[in-house]
């Protein structure tokens, strides 16, 4: 049972880390320049939503890849 808790904690930490990393990387883009003027709040909300979507996808890939690599010895 403890391993389920540890796995859940690790997944949460990895997801939050990748979301933060994605948010930091997206700040290099000028998303507000592509939007209509005086829409600063909407640009920030879009940045957060993009960060969550991209960061969660990357974290899911990372966790799946780690799981698959642990299952490779069962192939032979």
Q: Tens-digit pLDDT profile for the chain (76 aa)? A: 668 889 999 999 999 999 999 999 999 988 877 788 888 888 889 999 999 999 999 999 999 999 999 999 888 8
Give dist(CA 46, CA 32) in Å, integer: 10
Cβ–Cβ < 8 Å for 26, 50: yes
- Residue 1: per-residue pLDDT: 63
């Amino acid at each position: 049972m403890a391993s389920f808790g540890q796995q859940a904690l690790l997944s949460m930490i990895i997801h939050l880390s990748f979301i933060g990393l994605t948010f930091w990387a997206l700040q290099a883009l000028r998303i507000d320049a592509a939007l209509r003027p005086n829409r600063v709040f909407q640009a920030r909300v879009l940045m957060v939503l993009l960060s969550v979507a991209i960061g969660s996808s990357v974290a899911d890939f990372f966790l799946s890849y780690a799981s698959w690599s642990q299952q490779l010895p069962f192939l032979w």
